[in-house]
Amino acid sequence: MEEKRPETTDARPDAADDTRPEAAGMPPEASGPRPGGAGGPAAADRKSHRALLIGIVAFAVLLVAAGVAYNALAPAAEREDLVAQPSYKPEASQPGGNAAPGRADGSSAGAASEPVAAPDFTAVDADGREVTLADFRGRPVVLNFWASWCGPCQHEMPAFQAAFDRYGDEVQFLMVNMTGMNGESRETAMRLIEAEDYSFPVFFDQNGSAARAYGVSSIPQTWFVDADGNVAGRAMGALDEARLDQGIALITQ
């Protein structure tokens, strides 16, 4: 008697139902990633947008940090404490070619207790007349070096105008423009003075006499000279009203 074997069902899908790339005669890689899959275009867009957002946030943080650093460091860079009775002498070339004794390098020459003569120089006033520092001997002098293109110079000018309004009768203000420095001219200087309606006396260092006498390489600078013609103090950088008043007190009290 013949034994019948149980029928088995082929678990493989029919060729018509097989959706694999191989069934269609295509290599597996030809079908590409499925939309929405881990490597699909949508995922790539999300990664790109995420990278862009991270870059924007990082840039914004950098700008904020730079602003904070500028606000903290800029005033210190533009201002320096007033120095009374400096222990150095300006490095100067007096009119006539005679070099004044001492140096502007903080050397021990010229002790703080010894009077330090302010170097003389020649400048031109707004009417074109030549004047010298020696012309004002007998009056305290506030000597300021400035230029119209100098931001810190512009920043401190209202303080000098206020001081001139208060002390102009007893103190001689010499606002010496660094004419010729970095293209500065009388025209550009007076344009600023007239635009801001400043009334303090303006002078022009047309031949560089003042710049050489005081070794001016950066501005603003302010020197306080007493009635005897001696340096009582100086300040490098922009001054506010309070510190300008302190300097004037050195030559009026």
Q: What is the pLDDT of residues 174-198, one digit of tens each?
A: 999 999 999 999 999 999 999 999 9
Please give the DSSP secondary-structure letter assigned to residue 139.
S
Q: Strand order in 202-204's β-sheet?
A: 83-84, 231-236, 221-225, 141-146, 172-177, 202-204, 122-125, 130-132
Please give the pLDDT value at position 188. 97
Element (H, E) at 83: strand 83-84
210 close to 181: Cβ distance less than 8 angstroms = no
Q: Residue range 207-230: average pLDDT?
A: 96
Range name among 25-34, 122-131, 207-216 with the lowest pLDDT average: 25-34
Is the predicted pLDDT of residue 216 greater than 80, yes or no? Answer: yes
Please give the pLDDT value at position 91. 46
Please give the pLDDT value at position 189. 97
Q: What is the CA radius of gyration of the chain?
A: 39
Please give the pLDDT value at position 68. 46
| Predicted TM-score (pTM) above 0.75 | no
For the chain, give the mean pLDDT.
77
Other C-beta atoms closer than 10 Å to the C-beta of 133 total 24
- Looking at per-residue pLDDT, the higher value among 1 and 234 belongs to 234
Q: What residues are paired with 93 via a beta bridge?
A: 99
Preceding omega of 220 cis (within 30 degrees of 0): yes
pLDDT (tens digit per residue) in 24-77: 555 555 444 554 455 567 777 777 778 888 878 877 777 666 554 444 344 333
Collapsing DSSP states into helix, strand and coil, what is residue 136? Answer: helix
CA distance 51 to 181: 48
- Looking at per-residue pLDDT, the higher value among 137 and 68 belongs to 137
CA distance 161 to 193: 11
H-assigned helices in the chain: 41-78, 151-167, 186-196, 209-214, 241-252
CA distance 163 to 169: 11
